[in-house]
Amino acid sequence: MRYIYLTHAHADHFPTTNHLLRRFPDATVVATEAVLARIARETPGGAVSDRYRNFSATRCPNRP
């Protein structure tokens, strides 16, 4: 995999980016400034909030 595209900042999509990067360490993450800004707002301090963790229980990783 060469690229990981973050097309929008829905919490059921972006939190697994770190898992993909561990599997594909040479992949480049591509996102617009608006998407990155929303992810930053949704993950203060880099942590996925309990609001989103409750949606998917233990499957939601700690850090995006």
Q: Residue 29: which of 61, 9, 2, 11 has the closest Cα? A: 2
- The verdict on residue 27 lying in a domain is yes
Q: What pLDDT, on the 0 to 100 scale, is given for residue 13? A: 78
- What is the value of pTM for the model shown? 0.68
Output the pLDDT for position 47: 75
For 7-63, what is each residue's pLDDT tens digit?
998 877 788 888 899 999 999 999 999 999 998 888 888 777 676 666 555 555 555
The beta-carbon contacts of 13-17 under 8 Å, at least 24 apart in sequence, are 14/39, 14/64, 15/48, 15/52, 15/60, 15/61, 15/64, 16/61, 17/64
Please determine, for residue 64, whether its predicted confidence score (pLDDT) is greater than 50.
no
Q: What is the distance between the alpha carbons of residues 19 and 13, in angstroms, rounded to a whole number? A: 12
Residue 64 lies in a domain: no
pLDDT of residue 37: 93
Distance CA 61, CA 17 (A): 10
Domain membership flag for residue 18: yes
**Full residue range of the structural domain in which residue 51 is found:** 3-59
The domain tally of the chain equals 1
Does residue 53 fall inside a structural domain? yes
pLDDT of residue 33: 96
